[in-house]
């Protein structure tokens, strides 16, 4: 998942390009999941290659879909943070190829002035979701609408039960772990130790939550493993990401994956080819000093830049390779990379989710590089935002 550089936000606010995330756009347009044609006009989609291994699960003209999570019963959930759009259903159950339903209900999906005093009871800017091994859906809400600053009391990790569509527990993330310029990005759940690990891409850190006590800590703050590679120019299929001020996009800690034995956490900044892992016991030990934690990351062989990451039973990593419009398989032991899919349709592949049976993988295509924020303030025509499905690699 991806967020925006702080300098971009002021420029966007000045030019009026950021959505009014606390207001209400046209009710009719929101109900249809669309925006006016001048801002969301779709062009003729890139054709599917012959013998493509991909199946389209959902395609939505608007809002932008960045995250996906699949729960038992093949329930597919889509996540739409309040960035350029003000989605009616920022967390949604996919009910058809072009239709969505609010999750867990319409009240949770509402965020405006009438509920501004209830930041722990509403999706403010939900970024990602993850289904654990017991079928629970966890939602990361950095609570930073328009990518400006966090809403006071808003950053949270929410455990929900897809079987009942109920919220189980809300874990509030305090300001010392999620400061005003933070952006909680992605999460993995370690049920063996009852912990959650989240990348934080606003300032560059890792947020660790004890799911028993609810205590959250910010670690690896501004440590090299959570920061972009120096001098790295972020490109998607040759298109450099440049903000409206002319500054190249630089993205911090983003992709994350947990080893099958829960012993290692793999992670990286989006802007760069560096890959890291750290022992989870280090992240769980509150007795360690910041210096001791900062000395623990292990650098792995370099690999193509990616947004989302996932891992299989053999601890092979899967990467959404936005640089080349590809889905990649990476061996962290030796750095070998296999291209599983490469298609013109994959304009910024974003986030992964395994199906519960492990036989197929879902991922989103968010076209992030074509949004005004990273296209010099210009919004070109785009295809629908899509969720794809493919068979698991052998």
pLDDT tens-digit series, residues 156-182: 999 999 999 999 999 999 999 999 999
Report whether pLDDT(305) > 80: yes
Q: What is the mean pLDDT of residues 311-328?
A: 98
What would the two tokens of residue 346 be? 């994959």
Q: What is the pLDDT of residue 11?
A: 40
Identify which of 238, 301, 307 has the alpha carbon closest to the alpha carbon of residue 274: 301
Residue 231 and residue 191 in contact, taking contact as beta carbons nearer than 8 Å? no
What would the two tokens of residue 340 be? 């599983």
Q: What is the pLDDT of residue 52?
A: 95
Q: What is the pLDDT of residue 289?
A: 98
Q: What is the mean pLDDT of residues 92-103?
A: 98
- Give the number of domains in the chain: 1
Q: Per 3-state DSSP, what percentage of the chain is helix, strand, and coil (rounded to 5)?
A: 10, 35, 55
**CATH number of the domain within which 231 lies:** 2.120.10.30
Q: What is the mean pLDDT of residues 121-147?
A: 97
Q: Is residue 1 very low, low, confident or very high in pLDDT (cuts 50, 70, 90)? A: low
Among all chains, which residue has been given the structure tokens 């209830």?
118
Q: Is residue 44 very low, low, confident or very high in pLDDT (cuts 50, 70, 90)? A: low
234 or 51, greater pLDDT: 234
Q: Is residue 294 part of a domain?
A: yes
Longest dimension (CA), the chain: 57
Q: Is residue 32 part of a domain?
A: no
Q: What is the pLDDT of residue 26?
A: 34
**Residue 138, domain extent:** 6-27+58-380
Virtual torsion, Cα 175, 178, 180, 184, nearest 10 deg: -150
Q: What is the pLDDT of residue 30?
A: 36
Q: What is the pLDDT of residue 41?
A: 37
Q: What is the mean pLDDT of residues 376-387?
A: 84
Torsion sign, CA atoms 299, 305, 308, 314: negative
Q: What is the mean pLDDT of residues 7-34?
A: 36
Q: Is residue 386 part of a domain?
A: no
Q: Is residue 288 part of a domain?
A: yes
pTM: predicted TM-score of the whole model, two decimal places: 0.89
Q: Is residue 40 part of a domain?
A: no
Residue 130 and residue 112 in contact, taking contact as beta carbons nearer than 8 Å? no
Q: Is residue 344 part of a domain?
A: yes
Q: Is residue 49 part of a domain?
A: no
Q: Is residue 103 part of a domain?
A: yes
% the chain with pLDDT above 70: 88
Q: What is the pLDDT of residue 146?
A: 85
Q: What is the pLDDT of residue 85?
A: 80
């Amino acid at each position: 998942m991806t967020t925006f550089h702080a300098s971009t936000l002021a420029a966007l606010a000045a030019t009026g390009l950021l959505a009014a995330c606390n207001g209400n756009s046209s009710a009719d347009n929101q109900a249809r999941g669309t925006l006016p044609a001048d801002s969301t006009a779709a062009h003729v989609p890139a054709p599917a290659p012959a013998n493509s291994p991909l199946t389209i699960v959902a395609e939505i003209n608007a809002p932008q879909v960045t995250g996906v999570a699949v729960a038992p019963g093949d329930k597919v959930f889509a996540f739409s943070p309040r960035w350029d759009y003000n989605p009616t259903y920022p967390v949604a159950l996919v009910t058809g190829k072009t239709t969505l339903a609010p999750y867990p209900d319409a009240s949770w999906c509402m965020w405006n002035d009438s509920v501004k005093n209830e930041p722990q009871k509403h999706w403010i800017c939900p970024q990602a979701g993850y289904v654990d091994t017991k079928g629970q859906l966890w939602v990361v809400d950095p609570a930073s609408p328009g990518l400006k600053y966090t809403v006071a009391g808003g950053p949270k990790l929410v455990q929900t039960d897809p079987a009942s569509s109920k919220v189980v527990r809300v874990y509030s993330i305090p300001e010392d772990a999620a400061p005003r310029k933070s952006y909680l990005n992605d999460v993995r759940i370690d049920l063996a130790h009852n912990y959650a690990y989240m990348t934080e891409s606003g300032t560059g850190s890792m947020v660790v939550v004890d799911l028993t006590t609810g205590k959250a800590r910010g670690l690896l703050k501004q440590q090299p493993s959570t920061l972009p590679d120096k001098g790295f120019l972020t490109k998607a299929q040759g298109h450099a990401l440049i903000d409206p001020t002319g500054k190249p996009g630089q993205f911090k800690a983003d992709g994350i994956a947990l080893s099958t034995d829960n012993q290692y956490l793999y992670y990286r900044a989006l802007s760069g080819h560096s890959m890291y892992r750290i022992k989870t016991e280090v992240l769980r030990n509150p007795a360690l000093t910041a210096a001791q934690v900062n000395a623990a990351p292990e650098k792995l062989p370099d690999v193509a830049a990616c947004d989302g990451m996932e891992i299989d039973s053999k601890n092979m990593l899967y990467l959404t390779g936005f640089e080349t419009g590809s889905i990649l398989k990476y061996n962290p032991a030796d750095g070998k990379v296999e291209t599983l899919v490469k298609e013109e349709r994959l304009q910024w592949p974003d986030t992964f989710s395994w199906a519960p049976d492990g036989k197929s993988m879902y991922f989103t295509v968010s076209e992030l590089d074509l949004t005004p924020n990273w296209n010099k303030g210009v919004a070109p025509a785009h295809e629908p935002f899509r969720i794809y499905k493919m068979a698991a690699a052998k």
